[in-house]
Amino acid sequence: MTPDRLAAMLTQVQQGALPVEQALERLKHLPFEDLGFARIDHHRTLRKGFSEVIWGPGKTSQQIAAIAARLVENGQPALITRLDENKAQEIKISLPALVYYAEARIGALGERPASRTDLPVLVIAAGTADIPVAEEAALSAEWLGNTVERLYDVGVAGLHRLFDSLDRLRAASVLIVVAGMEGALPSVIGGLVDRPIIAVPTSIGYGASFGGVAALLAMLNSCAAGVTVVNIDNGFGAAAAATLINRPDDEQANKG
Amino acid sequence: MTPDRLAAMLTQVQQGALPVEQALERLKHLPFEDLGFARIDHHRTLRKGFSEVIWGPGKTSQQIAAIAARLVENGQPALITRLDENKAQEIKISLPALVYYAEARIGALGERPASRTDLPVLVIAAGTADIPVAEEAALSAEWLGNTVERLYDVGVAGLHRLFDSLDRLRAASVLIVVAGMEGALPSVIGGLVDRPIIAVPTSIGYGASFGGVAALLAMLNSCAAGVTVVNIDNGFGAAAAATLINRPDDEQANKG
Amino acid sequence: MTPDRLAAMLTQVQQGALPVEQALERLKHLPFEDLGFARIDHHRTLRKGFSEVIWGPGKTSQQIAAIAARLVENGQPALITRLDENKAQEIKISLPALVYYAEARIGALGERPASRTDLPVLVIAAGTADIPVAEEAALSAEWLGNTVERLYDVGVAGLHRLFDSLDRLRAASVLIVVAGMEGALPSVIGGLVDRPIIAVPTSIGYGASFGGVAALLAMLNSCAAGVTVVNIDNGFGAAAAATLINRPDDEQANKG
Amino acid sequence: MTPDRLAAMLTQVQQGALPVEQALERLKHLPFEDLGFARIDHHRTLRKGFSEVIWGPGKTSQQIAAIAARLVENGQPALITRLDENKAQEIKISLPALVYYAEARIGALGERPASRTDLPVLVIAAGTADIPVAEEAALSAEWLGNTVERLYDVGVAGLHRLFDSLDRLRAASVLIVVAGMEGALPSVIGGLVDRPIIAVPTSIGYGASFGGVAALLAMLNSCAAGVTVVNIDNGFGAAAAATLINRPDDEQANKG
Amino acid sequence: MTPDRLAAMLTQVQQGALPVEQALERLKHLPFEDLGFARIDHHRTLRKGFSEVIWGPGKTSQQIAAIAARLVENGQPALITRLDENKAQEIKISLPALVYYAEARIGALGERPASRTDLPVLVIAAGTADIPVAEEAALSAEWLGNTVERLYDVGVAGLHRLFDSLDRLRAASVLIVVAGMEGALPSVIGGLVDRPIIAVPTSIGYGASFGGVAALLAMLNSCAAGVTVVNIDNGFGAAAAATLINRPDDEQANKG
Amino acid sequence: MTPDRLAAMLTQVQQGALPVEQALERLKHLPFEDLGFARIDHHRTLRKGFSEVIWGPGKTSQQIAAIAARLVENGQPALITRLDENKAQEIKISLPALVYYAEARIGALGERPASRTDLPVLVIAAGTADIPVAEEAALSAEWLGNTVERLYDVGVAGLHRLFDSLDRLRAASVLIVVAGMEGALPSVIGGLVDRPIIAVPTSIGYGASFGGVAALLAMLNSCAAGVTVVNIDNGFGAAAAATLINRPDDEQANKG
Amino acid sequence: MTPDRLAAMLTQVQQGALPVEQALERLKHLPFEDLGFARIDHHRTLRKGFSEVIWGPGKTSQQIAAIAARLVENGQPALITRLDENKAQEIKISLPALVYYAEARIGALGERPASRTDLPVLVIAAGTADIPVAEEAALSAEWLGNTVERLYDVGVAGLHRLFDSLDRLRAASVLIVVAGMEGALPSVIGGLVDRPIIAVPTSIGYGASFGGVAALLAMLNSCAAGVTVVNIDNGFGAAAAATLINRPDDEQANKG
Amino acid sequence: MTPDRLAAMLTQVQQGALPVEQALERLKHLPFEDLGFARIDHHRTLRKGFSEVIWGPGKTSQQIAAIAARLVENGQPALITRLDENKAQEIKISLPALVYYAEARIGALGERPASRTDLPVLVIAAGTADIPVAEEAALSAEWLGNTVERLYDVGVAGLHRLFDSLDRLRAASVLIVVAGMEGALPSVIGGLVDRPIIAVPTSIGYGASFGGVAALLAMLNSCAAGVTVVNIDNGFGAAAAATLINRPDDEQANKG
């Protein structure tokens, strides 16, 4: 319900084309759909540039399937994050078209959107154990309409593995850097490139890593300018932010 | 020392135009300048898109003045963040051109760069007490070459104050949202706009705010997609990230 | 043992109607019942306005069944919170009248009390995953004698879903607002209504939500006046407090 | 901008009594006043039942004086919490009518509202050192229109001091219980009365009290039903919540 | 190796009754027994007043059985704490005399020592769910040679259940007070009796109890004098401390 | 108000020697004295074995002086802990008899009680910097009626300094062991003696000592049996607990 | 790619022996091998003195087997730490030569290197439950080329068990001291020997040990000079550091 | 009191050259000197390889001066760490030979020992603000008998500044790496050299650096092998550990 549409509607009221009661109703009922346990925000694509994504935990398979089905019926792709394998199997019974990416723990339904721009989002994982979170970021970014590249196992204890790919680092539009343990990789990369870096701490580690807190704090305290941070293991959040940053020139131009 | 320049130099070596020893030296001595207590990174503008910024705490007035003087001599503006008033007065003795912004605790020397693009970075402060951090962000963003707009005291306890400015929110290229206490503002704004949001928690609050930790955690756990976070009170960090995101179309085009 | 009853008893002693020894005994033995592993506080209804509620964790099925049976024998309903399904099945063997609400993890025995007042307690859940805690609150409030309404999945990332129900928010006597992740919903609602808000943080989230701590801190630091907080996931505690607030006018009048 | 007023305005538009542009403006400009550094929410009294209260920290004396002056000019009392003595002296220069309560660190301007009801809010302090926070609560509650009673130094290490006042505890409409150190007092009182208890942890203590965290956690974990909690040292927050609970019968009746 | 025995040995050396080498050996080899994975401290009874107790976690059934067997062979009882049921069953195969107390998770072998004094150690549990830890304390205290009394489910939310037993509280030599959640019980009891109180926080609770931290902090911050604290769930530690406090008069006299 | 006195009073009522109203009053008014800001618990000596001790922080000099004066007028000594030097000077104006111990930050008024027993309480400080807390413990213990010995600077990094005093360790009735940094001393001493050890963590240290938390945790996790713990820097609390443990034989005998 | 090799390569370029393009390639491709999910750092032996060690968690059996196979093919031993038994069984199918040490959770392939020096690394465990971490350290140290000795169950509660082995402590080149609970052992040993001590906190303990945090903090705050610390349970890390310290004299001489 | 000296003494006893009582005394009185508030450990040089160092905080100027004077009288240098400027001035009155290093906050008395070996300890500081802690480490290492080199301001955001000094990194015997903020430098250096690295986190930073905790955690979680850690800001501790590692070959040889 943008100001433009509000003005248009008020004009209709003034012209008698729209009764007061209906206008009032319309103002109150913005486009969401109430399933009882969930209110689907069909309006979100318009407002945010991408449709509502379903966060799996704490929802039953039935609830997830119902929400996903309604999204698909409205012509939107349905992406489900943090979906464990058992729930995915159960959902497939009613929605056999569901594709399940086990490593990334993502379920997807519908058509994957085309890339809006060729500028790549580069997803980097410090270690092999960080790959599941990196894949959550990479797959999400692809489904949100980005061209995605991957660069894995380039941790700071062997920097030449990173330097080998310096040109790929510098060609990216946005970098998503996924790291656990001491979380130093975004700081190192932040010193090398002039593109925005979204740092994703992972819960990989043990003892005083405190489930990713060590990496999170390191990233928040990065001495390299241009690094911002999302929650521990939040690959999807990084992808969503990268999508908003990585927009095609014409979209940006229209905006201004 | 980009791959292009490396190839060029190696060609010179091959052609005998550059002796091996000199090439070796050049490879080792990248452009920084050693003052003993500090190594000034004159190369950073090239690498990062903006010059080195001086972080004030833990440095003496003499050290800050020496670094700032060298930057200005190299034709770069010098920005000093977290500069307390006493040090600023002392630096002014040797560098009388220093401009000091007391609320933002920023000192600046040299020419402020022109804006690279008209798309504004919008800096939002939830409460009056958050304004110093917001000003650190806004001033820094201006000195890093951005057009900046400000919107202050629009906290979630009186949402109509925010909704009144909805069009300004939606016209921005990047939003820097500064909030203390419960840190809810970035989540609310994140549901309204389709632009990247950099959330800055502030240490404003008391008791269980734990010096900004409550706001930091709220921002990291935001249910709104597209929100990334910087350290508590890190207005400059937000400005630097916004600068990397908010680049002019031609710069972006060249990149791809 | 109120002051009134104490005076009455002392008068009996003075009149010789009650021997000293018996009075002493009576003074010492207030009405609880010792089962060995538990001391049932039959006096609580008188003192608190509602009967003792059984907290399930750390008690065996046998212990729970014994306490519940004694409450019902005394004409009180028995409510068991945090009751897992296995224990519920075991208790049903000896107490087949037990009704088990799986989503809320509540077991109930006996007659549900009539509502003492028509003013509704409104239970709001920010997301679908917060519903179990919201149901613990809603069911508990009903069994403690309140009219209860529910409003689910109205999180801050899509505020229009909340605004659509603004009239229901404003008609409530007390609002119980259940939210995980960044816990921003009580602050937003606190700016919209003039009724007491009891905020319930949930353990929904991951990473830096720290099992609900992020939401708890956000709620404690709410910039909206009138918000008070209970423990993480403590739906019952919110219901009990709401019951004490939501009392009928005549009860309140008698009090004054 | 309630639904009623929205319908009325739309009717005016329909009848041609209000041009579209003006309606649009009105919809956007809800009643707040922009001072640049602050947006005064004159609408709050209507929405929340009491006017905006000024939180002192992080605001300059000039800013506070400007906001307070505008509130008084609009016929509202101005209450400033967490106001340190120096700022109070500076504000008095421009606003000599300011009354400053040093122990509670509260400044007040204008007419104190009459009590809306005779049912008392009872403010209890566990120890002498907790009195400043208790006074912030008590004074705030008085200025928000409540009859207030005080009961100080009744900590759990000498319970007879509390039991002596049992009748006052039971006569209160709402109890605000202020305690530092181990924070046990709300739990003990919660077992004795059937009225809502708002627990206020204080930062009184040392070592493992962690600035009030020990008391806060104890209150959140209270085994007594009906206890809700506000932030550490948040006397005003407790008073605001108590005000919303302690409303006169007729107000309550109108509501239903 | 007390000073007395050291002097005796040196006299033997002086008199030629003990060669230097043997004395040196003896000085180095104090009485423990090396099983490779464990060094049994047979000397401890002499030094501490009670024999070594085996802490179960992290030891295999085989290791526990071997240590216990050696203790019993030396005429000492063997007490194993934190012994889970499976290990107990495995140990019973080689040591069928093992008695296993499931609620307290304690295994015992050999003769339980007679009580050294009639003054009782009183073990108090705030709630039914705290009983396992209370039983670890009570059983341990019995096996360390104390007369033990138990008082369970006397939490602060119904103080009359505690006051009913005031005479038992005051007759005890030492009180072990076991409580989870807000951990207020030791403070209340500390205001009523003049005997040492050992407070044992339990991990009973949820959310902001943080596995017993809330109770631990409350106990450390107790405003009642005479309360000392042991680790969360450390029933045995409380029993050991109580044993050292609760010694018979003649033992105490010998000491002086 | 013990059961004995309750029975006596009821007999008086029965015999008509005491009117009901007076009995009721008496039951309600236990012996404390209300100064408005403080309720002095004159009854405490009877109940706890030592009189009320005044905790200095958060009280004004006037408040402290008033409470101390009333205690002395009632024939009790007045001990003020955590008293800073400025307040002590101010109190001396109205109460010139006040003795101030600067290192221990204790003020004392009245007659120091004689030692109730010759068995010494031994106060041990790990390092020189721990002495102020050790002195708070030692002086408090003396004023509570104990014979006190001191042993300072015997930290675990030079164990022979401790072993040199092994006989003094073993002759003590109770040991108060004060240590900061890693807090290892109580564990080491706990392996050497068979007397109760009260461990006092101090805030001495830096960095990851977290104001004494490292020492506190070490003491709570001590592998030596018989160690109990008080709050960080709580020398007085240790002295109070030691006093309850260290009682003369006849007192103990009477008890049983 | 050391400076020496860089100069050599540049000389080749100058002499025309190496085309520019190939030199550029060589500079970029340092010796690692990309398996897609992992980049094996074959260069590490040269750079660090020992080959890459595989950290098991977060890697699939297939991934581990592939990396290990490549290392062995390159003539390096393959050590896998934190390898759980199930994965070890799966790896053995493709790599039957794998040796699995269950207590240390280490898998090993290839030839164990000979000891580079006779000076022993001494691994000490405070308690029996700390042995698994101690074994991870001991076995790792052996596979990294050290002579290793073990001394287990010598905790501070029975110091004579430690003193018995004083000569072994003093003969070691480096000491790895593994302890959980209060973590006091490294401080005590640090006062006795003049060799470097690497302290390893373990997660052994309960309650306020917080998974090894108590021990970690104690070790970081050790008052004994010469103690450094690694992460909780990080036996391998201690072994790696010990290996770098414990080098043969000739290696050290070459270095200087 | 080494085993050798114990045997010698026992031989004297056997030969009648030493009476039993004197031997007993000697065994008990190891060489320390009791100043009442401090026990000076003159034996430490022998035992640890360097003399006792005085930690300044919590000691009065008088106490520090007395201890330092006694050390110098015994022919040992006296090093005082964490000495603030005021205390240094006061100590200079009685001990005018005191040299005070203001940046490192170190006071020194007596002769600085000669270097025991030419192999340098290299002290690295990530930023200018880390220099004070680095200087505490460097100066301490010099006074403990090491050759020291310094390399400052080589943080990870401009890695070429570090790579420029790669040969100095690789020539060091031990590296002390001092860093605040995200603490990533030791991990990066750990991947480049084969020498032991002692990481020192500093309290430099703000917000979520939590006084150095972020850096501390990063260092404990370092993915680079061979990194061990000391307490936040503990420059001296790092120097002491480096001294024990960096010993001359002949010392090491004697040992074996």
For residues F89 and G3, the model is more confident at: F89
**Nearest Cα to A96, choosing from A88, A84, A85?**
A88
pLDDT confidence bin for D73, thresholds 50/70/90:
confident
Q: How far is G204 from chain B (nearest CA, A)?
A: 30
Nearest residue on chain F to E170, judged by CA atoms? Answer: F255
Question: Is there a domain that residue A26 lies in?
Answer: no
β-bridge partners, D228: D198
Query: Residue D42 belongs to what domain range?
Result: 31-109
Give the pLDDT of residue H116.
Answer: 86
Nearest residue on chain F to C14, judged by CA atoms? Answer: F14
| C-beta atoms of F218 and G214 within 8 A | yes
Most G-contacting residue of B2, B10, B18 (CB-CB within 10 A), to test interface: B10
Boundary (domain end) residue, out of F82, F109, F136: F109
Map tokens 């990481």 to a residue: H199
Question: Is there a domain that residue G36 lies in?
Answer: yes
Burial pattern F12-40, b for ≥16 Cβ within 10 A else e, equals bbbeeebebeebbebbbebebeeeebbbb
Question: Is there a domain that residue G161 lies in?
Answer: yes
Nearest to H240 among G226, G236, G238 (CB): G226
Which chains have 3+ CB pairs within 8 A of E? Answer: C, D, F, G, H
If asked whether residues H141 and H232 sit together in one domain, one would say: yes
Give the pLDDT of residue B7.
Answer: 66
The pLDDT of residue E208 is above 90: yes
Its pTM stands at: 0.90
Give the pLDDT of residue F192.
Answer: 85
The pLDDT of residue F173 is above 80: yes
CB A227 within 8 A of CB B198: no
Question: Is there a domain that residue D163 lies in?
Answer: yes
Most A-contacting residue of B2, B41, B194 (CB-CB within 10 A), to test interface: B194
Map tokens 């199997």 to a residue: A89
Give the pLDDT of residue G253.
Answer: 45
Contact between chain E and chain B (3 or more Cβ pairs less than 8 Å apart): no
Which residues in chain F touch residue H59, judged by CB atoms under 8 angstroms apart? 128-129
Provide Rg for chain D, Cα atoms.
21
Nearest to B187 among C156, C219, C221 (CB): C156
For chain C, what percent of residues have pLDDT higher than 70?
86
pLDDT confidence bin for B191, thresholds 50/70/90:
confident
Give the pLDDT of residue B39.
Answer: 74
- Give the mean pLDDT of B54-78: 91
For residues B37 and C86, the model is more confident at: C86
If asked whether residues H99 and H131 sit together in one domain, one would say: no
**Nearest Cα to A53, choosing from A71, A36, A33?**
A71
- Give the mean pLDDT of H164-179: 92
Phi-psi region of B53 (alpha: psi -120 to 50; beta: other; left: phi over 0): beta
CB atoms within 10 A of CB C255: 14
| C-beta atoms of B223 and C190 within 8 A | no
Which chains have 3+ CB pairs within 8 A of D? Answer: A, B, C, E, F
DSSP states along chain G: --HHHHHHHHHHHHTTSS-HHHHHHHHH--S-EE-SS-EE-TTHHHHHSS---EE-TTS-HHHHHHHHHHHHHTT--EEEES--HHHHHHHHHH-TT-EEETTTTEEEESPPPPPS-SSEEEEEESSGGGHHHHHHHHHHHHHTT-EEEEEE---GGGTHHHHTTHHHHHH-SEEEEEE-TT--HHHHHHTT-SS-EEEEE-S---GGGGGGHHHHHHHHT-SSTTEEE--TT-HHHHHHHHHHHS--HHHHHHH-
Nearest residue on chain F to H58, judged by CA atoms? Answer: F129
Q: How far is G78 from chain A (nearest CA, A)?
A: 17
If asked whether residues D104 and D128 sit together in one domain, one would say: no
Question: Is there a domain that residue E181 lies in?
Answer: yes
CB F168 within 8 A of CB F124: no
Taking any CB pair shorter than 8 Å as contact, residues of chain A touching chain C are 1, 28-30, 32, 36-39, 41, 43-44, 55, 57-59, 63, 82, 201, 203, 211-213, 216, 231-234
Q: Can you give the three-state secondary structure of chain A, one letter per residue? A: CCHHHHHHHHHHHHCCCCCHHHHHHHHHCCCCEECCCCEECCCHHHHHCCCCCEECCCCCHHHHHHHHHHHHHCCCCEEEECCCHHHHHHHHHHCCCCEEECCCCEEEECCCCCCCCCCEEEEEECCHHHHHHHHHHHHHHHHCCCEEEEEECCCHHHCHHHHCCHHHHHHCCEEEEEECCCCCHHHHHHCCCCCCEEEEECCCCCHHHHHHHHHHHHHHCCCCCCEEECCCCCHHHHHHHHHHHCCCHHHHHHHC
Angle of helix C61-73 relative to helix C85-94, nearest 10 degrees, comes to: 50
pLDDT tens digits along E147-177: 999 999 998 887 877 877 888 998 999 999 9
Give the pLDDT of residue E2.
Answer: 45
| Total domains in the fold of chain C | 2
Boundary (domain end) residue, out of F86, F109, F132: F109
Count of A-H CB contacts under 8 Å: 115
| C-beta atoms of C20 and F14 within 8 A | yes
Give the pLDDT of residue C239.
Answer: 97
| C-beta atoms of A216 and B221 within 8 A | no
| C-beta atoms of B30 and H209 within 8 A | no
Question: Is there a domain that residue D115 lies in?
Answer: no
Which chains have 3+ CB pairs within 8 A of H? Answer: A, B, E, F, G
Q: In chain A, which stretches have pLDDT less than 70?
A: 1-7, 10, 21, 23-33, 41-49, 249-256
Question: Is there a domain that residue A25 lies in?
Answer: no
If asked whether residues C211 and C95 sit together in one domain, one would say: no
Q: How far is H231 from chain G (nearest CA, A)?
A: 5
If asked whether residues D104 and D155 sit together in one domain, one would say: no
If asked whether residues B100 and B62 sit together in one domain, one would say: yes
Whether the predicted interface score ipTM is above 0.90 = no
CA–CA gap between residue C1 and residue D32 (Å, rounded): 54
Give the pLDDT of residue C256.
Answer: 37
pLDDT tens digits along H7-50: 677 678 777 788 776 766 665 444 566 777 777 765 565 456 67
Most E-contacting residue of C231, C232, C233 (CB-CB within 10 A), to test interface: C231
For residues D253 and B183, the model is more confident at: B183
pLDDT confidence bin for H232, thresholds 50/70/90:
very high
- CA distances to C35, C41, D225 from C69, in Å: 12, 14, 22
Which residues in chain D touch residue C245, judged by CB atoms under 8 angstroms apart? 196, 245
- Give the mean pLDDT of C211-238: 96
| C-beta atoms of E160 and C1 within 8 A | yes
Give the pLDDT of residue B2.
Answer: 45
Question: Is there a domain that residue F229 lies in?
Answer: yes
If asked whether residues C104 and C190 sit together in one domain, one would say: no
Give the pLDDT of residue B25.
Answer: 60
- Give the mean pLDDT of C211-231: 95
pLDDT confidence bin for B232, thresholds 50/70/90:
very high
For residue A146, the Cα-to-chain-centroid distance in whole angstroms is 11
Token pair of G87 as six digits: 């994965």
CA–CA gap between residue H171 and residue F28 (Å, rounded): 82
The pLDDT of residue B230 is above 60: yes
Averaged confidence pLDDT in chain F: 86
- Give the mean pLDDT of B15-42: 67
Give the pLDDT of residue C184.
Answer: 95
The pLDDT of residue C124 is above 90: yes
Q: Can you give the three-state secondary structure of chain F, one letter per residue? A: CCHHHHHHHHHHHHCCCCCHHHHHHHHHCCCCEECCCCEECCCHHHHHCCCCCEECCCCCHHHHHHHHHHHHHCCCCEEEECCCHHHHHHHHHHCCCCEEECCCCEEEECCCCCCCCCCEEEEEECCHHHHHHHHHHHHHHHHCCCEEEEEECCCHHHCHHHHCCHHHHHHCCEEEEEECCCCCHHHHHHCCCCCCEEEEECCCCCHHHHHHHHHHHHHHCCCCCCEEECCCCCHHHHHHHHHHHCCCHHHHHHHC
Nearest to B7 among G7, G16, G20 (CB): G20
| C-beta atoms of C164 and A232 within 8 A | no
Each residue's pLDDT, cut to its tens digit, for chain G (256 residues) gives: 444 566 677 778 778 788 776 766 665 444 566 777 777 765 565 456 677 799 999 999 999 999 999 888 888 889 999 999 999 999 999 999 999 999 999 999 998 988 988 899 999 999 999 999 999 999 999 999 999 999 999 988 878 778 778 889 989 999 999 999 999 999 999 988 889 999 999 999 999 999 999 999 999 999 898 899 999 999 999 999 999 999 876 555 444 3
| Mean pLDDT comparison of E125-129, F42-46, F155-159, highest-scoring range | E125-129
| C-beta atoms of E10 and H11 within 8 A | no
Which residues in chain E touch residue G132, judged by CB atoms under 8 angstroms apart? 58
CATH number reported for the structural domain that contains residue G207 in this entry: 3.40.50.1970
Taking any CB pair shorter than 8 Å as contact, residues of chain F touching chain E are 3, 47-50, 53, 118-119, 166-167, 171, 173, 191-196, 198, 216, 220-221, 225-232, 236-238, 240-241, 243-245, 249, 252-253, 255-256
Residue type, D107: G
pLDDT tens digits along E54-79: 999 999 999 999 999 988 888 888 99
| C-beta atoms of H214 and A218 within 8 A | yes
Which residues in chain D touch residue F61, judged by CB atoms under 8 angstroms apart? none
If asked whether residues F140 and F87 sit together in one domain, one would say: no
Count of E-H CB contacts under 8 Å: 33
Boundary (domain end) residue, out of E54, E76, E109: E109
Which chains have 3+ CB pairs within 8 A of G? Answer: A, B, E, F, H
For residue H99, the Cα-to-chain-centroid distance in whole angstroms is 18
Contact between chain G and chain A (3 or more Cβ pairs less than 8 Å apart): yes
The pLDDT of residue F252 is above 60: no
Most A-contacting residue of C103, C105, C123, C128 (CB-CB within 10 A), to test interface: C128
Contact between chain D and chain H (3 or more Cβ pairs less than 8 Å apart): no
Which residues in chain G touch residue H49, judged by CB atoms under 8 angstroms apart? 194
If asked whether residues F93 and F139 sit together in one domain, one would say: no
If asked whether residues D138 and D185 sit together in one domain, one would say: yes
For residue D203, the Cα-to-chain-centroid distance in whole angstroms is 19
For residues A27 and F229, the model is more confident at: F229
Averaged confidence pLDDT in chain C: 86
Task: Say whether B114 sits in a helix, a strand or coil.
Answer: coil
Which residues in chain B touch residue D58, judged by CB atoms under 8 angstroms apart? 127-130, 132, 204
Give the pLDDT of residue A170.
Answer: 87
If asked whether residues B136 and B84 sit together in one domain, one would say: no
If asked whether residues E104 and E211 sit together in one domain, one would say: no
